A and B are shown apart, each in its own frame.
Chain A
Amino acid sequence: MEISLTVNGDTQSADVEPRTLLVHFLRDQLGLTGTNIGCDTSSCGACTILVDGQSAKSCNLLAVQADGAEITTIEGLAGADGLHPMQQAFHESHALQCGYCTPGMVMASISLVEEYPNLDADGVREGLEGNLCRCTGYQNIVKAVLSVKK
């Protein structure tokens, strides 16, 4: 099927097999491999991207469902002026170790802060429940997200 969508500001048109997962489309067809796959049950959140500004698990969408959507992946955040504030906060708070969950965690955090600007630490923890990290124990991730909020 033909789909047309905007990814990180660029218009993309492609022919996709109807069963293609959005995450595989982004990774395998567009070469945007920053979005990772950590599970097959939409439990881990490693594949989180922004679809029309809201966080979504891209393993849980078909590419054809994204027809007409505006998508932002981790590759779309940093610009000539450096890292996105959330990426910078993760860096400064040591909120990543192996980095595999990080793109999804950063995207989910951006969306969370956007939607709920006044969250406290407990709110951040609840808000990131769908994004698993095995390395950091979350403490520094929460710290990073709270620092951006301020």
Chain B
Amino acid sequence: MSTGSKLFRFPIPLPPLPTSASVRSAGVYLAGGLFSLGFWFFLDSAIYSKKFNPYYVHVKFVDWIPGICSLLGIIVINSIDKARLSSEASFSYGGEGVAWKARLVLFMGFALLAGGFAGSIVVLILKYIVPQTPWPTLYFGISNVISNGLMMLSCVVLWISQNVEDEYSYSLAL
């Protein structure tokens, strides 16, 4: 089954998205695992700071803020029904403002997610790199960046795997 509309001028052989239910469920499991891995990277640095930190800089509430922003962004992005995004679908669902609202909320979700990632880099630079903290304490900031990056990656994997599912049901309907 080939897609009808051509996007590129030259036929670029894109790898076809795997359209099977098992791949989709594996993607969802992988997304959950990535989120958990990110969360545990940060929680590990928090426990380390509480139990075994040789330096006087500790993990405080400031370090938690980017992770909270990323979590809110993930919740907002994934609670949007993706069928509402395209404007053709909004006709059938009634009310042409639905797609616009969905895009606005989705934009806020992505802004929260990107803001969390940027905020973690800000915390790393302002709290750990500029005061020149030594290595085991510098890990708190780096783990914060890794954790927020993994949360973004989890969101991307979840999005892709749900789109795989959509295509699967579409090919079933035909």
Do A and B pair up? The answer is no
Q: Which residues does A use to contact B, with CB under 8 Å? A: none
Q: Which residues does B use to contact A, with CB under 8 Å? A: none
